[in-house]
Amino acid sequence: MKDYVIFAGDVALDEYYSAVRWPAIKEKISVETLPAQCGGMIANAACVYASMGTPTRFMGLMNDGPVTQRLLKDLEKSGVDTGLVLYDNKLPDSKTIIILAEGEHTVFIPAMHIERIELKKEQFDALCGASFIYSTASEMRRLRFGEMGFEEIIAAVRSAGAKIVYDLDVGYLEKEDERFYRNINIAIFNEIGFNGYMGTRTVNQAVGDLLSYGTEAVVITKAEKGCTVYSPGGCFDSPALSAKVVDVTGAGDTFCAAFLHAYRKTGDLEHSARFANTAACICVESVGPRAGAVGENAVLERMSR
């Protein structure tokens, strides 16, 4: 088995603020400034995955300023290899704004305006050598290598044996994205993302289309209701654990990374779903997007209870 997984996408400094309630349009409201946290959807998942003990590499495009250095040091401290990161100093600092109010979190993501990512041979070879590549359709469509477009890159890495996992929890879907799902091994949606993908089809029709492309598993997360998993062998629901919710930021990233870890290790979808639900439960009981990076033993111990 190839011994590392690449997480390709974003890392960001999450600036947190809390409010007693969400304001109305045009209303002014006081907020409390909370300590900033190193986050980013793909980077969160990478840190959770690295905590499980498997070699983990992160690839993205950033400037090389102080904020970037802070973010990369945090990834490295979490056990994530950042040697594949590419740099462009025309880019702004990578940040997000997170508002905690009424028991929920709202995330504002400033656009980075990255239209293409020119891979070097080191990055391309690393993608081909990975066991899994964890990313999103919006991230993968930016990749270029010499004369190769993103579709040729995806075909090449899959031919080399790498499997593709897409995190689709935020519904970043476009009409032409259907071609991405013809080259995917695991699709993980939240309900909003899946509804966007489903469109006018029924659930069974949408899932059936994905499975007809050769997808091994379609996972739909449902927050406090757990998740539903579809595969060529059938489907099942996996309930969530009860949790004392403090901050749900990063729970979806934790679920995805934990699911991938368990599935890569065991190939057992039901165990993977239970393991991922448990990891997400641990995550929401603490503040911060990396709260789910507790390691495999902590998750298994919680499962046993």
**Per-residue pLDDT tens for 182-218?**
889 999 999 988 998 888 999 999 999 999 999 999 9
Q: What's the whole-number mean pLDDT along residues 284-289? A: 83
Which of 3.10.20.30, 3.40.50.2020, 3.40.1280.10, 3.40.1190.20 is the CATH number of 41-86+114-304?
Answer: 3.40.1190.20
**pTM given for the model:** 0.91
Query: Confidence class of residue 289 from pLDDT cuts 50, 70 and 90?
Result: confident
What is the pairing mode between strands 61-62 and 37-39? Answer: unpaired
**For residue 241, what pLDDT is reported?**
85
Among 63-77, 139-153, 241-255, the range scoring the smallest mean pLDDT is 241-255
Q: Is the pLDDT of residue 173 over 60?
A: no
List the structure tokens of 185: 């091994």
Query: Confidence class of residue 283 from pLDDT cuts 50, 70 and 90?
Result: very high
**For residue 242, what pLDDT is reported?**
81
The secondary structure element, H or E, covering residue 39 is strand 37-39
101 Cβ contact partners less than 8 Å away, ≥ 6 residues apart: 18, 19, 20, 21, 22
Contact between 218 and 191 (Cβ < 8 Å): no
The secondary structure element, H or E, covering residue 266 is helix 251-266
**For residue 172, what pLDDT is reported?**
54
Q: Name the phi and psi angles at 90, rounded to 5.
A: -80, -15
List the structure tokens of 236: 């099942």
- For the stretch 140-157, pLDDT in tens is 999 999 999 999 999 999
Helix (H, G, I), strand (E, B) or coil at 141: coil
Q: What's the whole-number mean pLDDT along residues 98-108? A: 86
Q: How far apart are CA 4 and CA 56, in angstroms?
A: 6
Q: Name the phi and psi angles at 302, rounded to 5.
A: -65, -40
Q: Is the pLDDT of residue 298 over 60?
A: yes
**For residue 297, what pLDDT is reported?**
95
Task: Spell out the domain ranges in the chain.
Answer: 41-86+114-304
Q: How far apart are CA 75 and CA 141, in angstroms?
A: 24
Query: Confidence class of residue 122 from pLDDT cuts 50, 70 and 90?
Result: very high
Closest CA to 238 of 261, 256, 221, 262: 221
Task: State the average pLDDT for the chain.
Answer: 92
**For residue 175, what pLDDT is reported?**
61
- For the stretch 251-274, pLDDT in tens is 999 999 999 999 999 999 999 999
> 4: which strand partners?
none
Q: Is the pLDDT of residue 1 over 70?
A: no
